[in-house]
Structure 1
Amino acid sequence: MTHAEKLELDLPWMQDVLMELLRIPSPSGRTDVIMQHVGERLEEIGLPFEVTRRGVMVGSLDGEEGTLDRAVVVHTDTIGCMVQALQDNGRLAIVPVGTHSARFSEGTRVQVLTDDPENVYYGTILPTKASGHAFGDDIDTHPIGWEHVEVRVDEKVSNAQDLADLGIQVGDFVAQTAFPVITRSGFVTSRHLDDKGGVAATLAAFKALLDRGEELPVGAHLLITVAEEVGHGASSGLYQDVAELVSVDAAVVAPGQHSTETGVSIAMQDLHGPFDYHLSRKLHGLARDHGIEAHRDVFRYYRSDVASALEAGAETRAALLGFGVDATHGWERTHLDALVAVGELLALYLQTPLTFANWDAEPSGPLKNFPSTAVQPVRREPEWDPEAPELIEDDPFPDDYEA
């Protein structure tokens, strides 16, 4: 850790990338266009990459340790919707793509993406009872759910046939328009900061490392996935020799959470389970030692690319970094400070050796070399005699560390 240098990020460049990505519709399943733009940015900073048949992008930076690697994973896909039916009233019934509530989609402007790239239609997601002048107080008790909203298309349509004549079909994607804004105080408000903010911060970190021009101690892959919001995430595209995997995604800013909109979060656990004990604490220590605002947090209703990678059998240590986002999967907001904090910590981490370089050089080894008791105290329970329960040691928990 002592040799890692805190690098200055190219903030104007990061902001340009962020705004560009936010303006490109990319619901899970319709990510080809945004990946073309990400590829152009990778070419711009000089990061070699390949694309898998599933559309996952894998960039690579060589390191001193030969074939042994670590990886950083982000995702470009977002939540969205899909046309379920063309309705007799000339509106569209929709279902969600990814997990999000219809409550936060009411009033959202959308783009209906047909099979013809030239035919993109605009509209608004509205409750089926949308006018107080028509329904009075009933709009206040109107149920919440995808069956209670519809898309009003901004075309002269009054029935299902009119919609079909436009080329709209069942299964067309409905992308929620972002309308990104960066305020003078540095706040970023937009739909889909999850995870386009993470992509921008991560690209800025890799750009800083490439601009620095020094070889990394360990080779690093940048894995950019396209189906995280529907649970596939990093289940494919991850090289077999990756020893450490760090996901960068939105962190949850809400009552009961410890993340902030101005700092980086190190998730200790999410819905999938605990993250790697040693790697997570290494990341938190790097942030602390270099003056980066960092918070440990636990996410209850959350999963990321890491979960799908581990479920697919990846033999790697795994951790999650997050930039704090208020109202995740809704009307999201973060601050540029959080994105900078993530980028700076990521650049620091990639300059360090593996957490356990000797042990993790191979996928398995003997128990005596496993790095556990060196950092975890082992305390013996006091012995208890049922015939004389009062006779126990004066100090039932002595400082007995086995190294």
Structure 2
Amino acid sequence: MQTPINIDPEYLTSRLKALLDIASPTGFTDEAVRYTARELERLGLEVKLTRRGAIRALRPGAAERPARGIVSHLDTLGAQVKALKENGRLELVSIGHWSARFAEGARASIFSGKGTYRGSILPLKASGHTFNEEVDTQPTGWRHIELRVDALARDRNDLVQLGIDVGDIVAIDPQPELLENGFIVSRHLDDKAGVAIMLAALEAMQREKVDTPVDTHWLFTIGEEVGVGASAAIVPEIASLVAIDNGTTAPGQNSDEFGVTLAMADQTGPFDYHLSKKLYELCGEHGIRVQKDVFRYYRSDAASAVEAGHDVRTALVTFGVDASHGYERIHLHALMSVAKLAVYHAASEVQIERDAEEVSGLRGFTRQKVRQAEQDLKADEPDVS
């Protein structure tokens, strides 16, 4: 498509705020699924849920195959009750991989059999008036923190009477701030910002009646933070899958809080050469700021799809996040940029028609021929005069 796409920033941020208001640590995602499914239906898409709640929303195109998939995840980091302690506090284990350093001081909700309780996650030695310098020298880790319940809980028996039990899910408050300068600070921007991006892209496509050459499947998974991700969300028609998730703006990385950060590889290896190249070229064609990055300690919905045996081309498009899996910060510019790219990708012409079939002959198979780089040898020639 040549017409510039207009993403509605107010729609995007309002959906992000609504999603952040819904607790959805992995294993406790039903309400986030319900909210997202209803919004997709309101936008006019056909919505189906898997048994456990992964969402498949279809936006028809001119042809059924080779369909495109775009995916983000609804689940977030969180915690789970490991033990009821004799002092009336709760021992925790993490849901997903995140440091207990970022859990200290967090406000949280405990979802028990008798209802929801509030509490704070504290280091075992939380009072400077009692422990003096030991507050600063104690170890960091999940074994060195505990959850103080805001209820009468003086001992283990009190916790039992409250209905709190081993295995109860604990959701961490996001504490979002959306600043006038475009910065957004919150927990769980991974990947509720990705979900908001996809909804904003769809809202723009529906509003501006964007046609696509093939069907696009908009997928929302519920177990990415524990490695399950898109393993059970892919349908056979999908030939390419673009995951939308967070990039890591940190020392040694090339990600940025502005524009699109295109991941070229993560810990599972390189992403698809042809799909990544096309996304990069779409950014140039439509004036979208873009930079590339490689992530050493990172995996996404794309990895889980391939590891589950789905033969799909994969790519990872990210919005730069500072302090990922901690108290995160992003900028609206990146969210808008990724949303635009999602629309342009969905509307772009099919380059590899052979991908319509899962298995076929050599005819139409891709090439990776790279012409020899041209060098300005004159600048390097020695002066022999």
TM-score range, shorter chain: over 0.9
- Aligned mates of 1:346, 1:4 — CA distance in 2: 14
2:359 to 355, 364, 378: 364
Q: What is the DSSP-based 3-state SS (H/G/I as helix, E as strand, rest coil) of the residue aligned with 1:278? A: helix
Q: Equivalent residue for 1:95?
A: 93
Question: Is the Cα contact below 8 Å between 1:76 and 1:195 reproduced in 2?
Answer: yes
2:167 aligned with 1:166: no
- 2:146 maps to 150
After TM superposition, list the pairs within 5 Å mapping 1:117-156 onto structure 2. Answer: 119-156=115-152
Structure-2 residue corresponding to 1:204: 200
Deviations 1:201-253 (A, max 9, x none): 11100111111224311110001000000000000021012111000001111
Matched residue, 1:236: 232
Q: Does 1:57 align with 2:55?
A: yes
1:68: Cα distance to partner?
2.9
Does the 8 Å CA contact 2:253/2:293 hold for their aligned counterparts?
yes
SS in 1 for 2:147: strand
1:217-236 alignment runs, 5 A limit: 217-236=213-232
For residues 116-136 of structure 1, give each alpha carbon's deviation from its aligned partner in whole angstroms, at most 9, with x where no partner exists: 4xx111111110011111111
Residue 278 of structure 1, aligned match among 274, 278, 290: 274
Unaligned runs of 5+ in 1: 380-403
Could you tell me which residue of structure 1 aligns to residue 343 of structure 2? 347
Partner of 1:69: 67
Distance (whole Å) between structure 1 residues aligned to residue 279 and residue 113 of structure 2: 44
The within-5 A match list for 1:228-307 is 228-307=224-303
Q: SS of the counterpart of 1:101?
A: coil
| CA distance in 2 between partners of 1:72 and 1:18 (Å) | 18
SS of residue in 2 equivalent to 1:36: helix
**Farther off after superposition, 361-370 or 52-61:** 361-370
Please tell me the residue identity of whatever aligns with 2:370. Q
Partner of 2:107: 109
Match for residue 376 of structure 1? 370
* Deviations 1:40-89 (CA, angstroms, capped at 9, x unpaired): 21122112110110211100011112343110011000010000011110
Secondary structure of the residue that 1:365 maps to in structure 2? Answer: coil
Residue 16 of structure 1 is matched in structure 2 by 14
Offset, 1:268:
0.1
One-letter code aligned to 1:52: T
Q: 2:321 aligns with which of 325, 350, 359?
A: 325
Aligned equivalent of 1:335, options 326, 331, 349:
331
Distance 1:320 1:33 in 2: 26
Query: What displacement does 1:11 show?
Result: 1.3
- The more displaced of 219-228 and 135-144 is 135-144
Matches within 5 A, 1:165-184: 165-184=161-180
SS in 1 for 2:206: helix
Measured at CA, do residues 264 and 165 of structure 1 come closer, stay the same or move farther in structure 2, by a change above 3 Å? same
Matched residue type, 1:178: P
- Letter paired with 2:94: P
Match of 1:80 in 2: 78
Query: Residues 302-323 of structure 1: CA distance to partner in whole angstroms, max 9, x if unpaired?
Result: 0000000000111111000001
- Report how far residue 369 of structure 1 moved: 3.3
- Measured after TM superposition, the shift of residue 368 of structure 1 is 5.1
Structure 2 equivalent of residue 384 of structure 1 = none
Q: What is the 5 A alignment of 1:301-316?
A: 301-316=297-312
- 1:181 and 1:205 map into 2 onto residues whose CA distance is 23
Alignment partner of 1:104: what SS? coil
Q: Secondary structure at the match of 2:200?
A: helix
Inter-partner Cα distance in structure 2 for 1:222 and 1:155: 42
Distance 1:376 1:240 in 2: 32
Q: Per-residue deviation at 1:354?
A: 2.5
- After superposition, what is the alpha-carbon deviation per residue over 1:328-387, rounded to whole angstroms, capped at 9, x for unaligned? 00000001111001101111111012331x2212122223532114x43489xxxxxxxx
Identity level (%)? 45
| Paired AA for residue 102 in structure 1 | A
**Deviations along 1:85-106, whole A, 9 cap, x unmatched?**
1111010000001011101111
- The one-letter amino acid paired with 2:52 is R
**Does the CA contact (< 8 Å) of 1:110 and 1:124 recur in 2?**
yes
User: Does structure 2 conserve the Cα–Cα contact (< 8 Å) formed by 1:322 and 1:342?
Assistant: yes
Q: Using the alignment, how far apart are the partners of 1:108 and 1:376 within structure 2?
A: 52
Shift of 1:141: 1.3
Amino acid at match of 2:287: G
Please tell me whether Structure 1 or Structure 2 has the larger radius of gyration of its CA atoms: 1
The separation in 1 between residues aligned to 2:372 and 2:182, in whole angstroms, is: 47
| 1:271–1:303 CA contact under 8 A, matched in 2 | yes
Mapped partners of 1:336, 1:147: distance in 2: 37
The 5-angstrom pairing of residues 40-51 of structure 1 reads 40-51=38-49
1:281 positional shift: 1.2
Map of 1:35 onto structure 2: 33
TM-score w.r.t. the length of structure 1 is: 0.90
Q: Distance in 2 between matches of 1:338 and 1:115?
A: 40
The answer as to whether partners of 1:278 and 1:355 remain within 8 angstroms in 2 is no
Is the CA contact (8 Å cut-off) linking 2:65 and 2:356 kept in structure 1?
no
Q: TM-score, normalised by structure 2?
A: 0.94
Label 1:350 to 1:4 Cα distance change in 2 as closer, same or farther (>3 A).
Answer: farther
Distance 1:43 1:369 in 2: 37
